[in-house]
Amino acid sequence: EREASRIPGSLHIPLQHLLERIGEVPCGPRTVVVHCASGYRSSIAASLLERHGVPDVADLVGGMAAWNASNLPAA
C-alpha cells in the first residue's frame, strides 16, 4: 500500500504495530494526521492514538484515495 502512493514526509507505522511503536509518533504543537488507503484503518489508528494520550490527532477522511483525487503532492 505505501509503495503505491504516500504523502511526502509521512511516517509509516502499520496499524498492527501502532501500539508497540507509539513512541515514534510525534507529540508536539502540530496535529498528527493519520491516513491509509481508504480511511478505514486510519480511523481506528486515530482512536487508538487519542486513547493513548496523543493530544491532537486527525484522520484523513477518504484516505490516500481522497488525497490523490484532490491532486495533492504524493511520492
What is the radius of gyration, based on Cα positions, of the chain? 12
pLDDT of residue 1: 56
Residue 3, pLDDT > 80, answer no
pLDDT in tens, 7-47: 998 999 999 999 999 999 998 889 999 999 999 999 999 99
CA 37/CA 28 separation, integer angstroms? 25
Residues 67, 72: Cα–Cα separation, whole Å: 6
pTM (2 d.p.): 0.87
Could you tell me if 24 and 50 are in contact, meaning their C-beta atoms sit under 8 angstroms apart?
Answer: no
The whole-angstrom separation of Cα 10 and Cα 12 is: 6
More confident residue, 39 or 4: 39
| Amino acid 2: pLDDT | 56
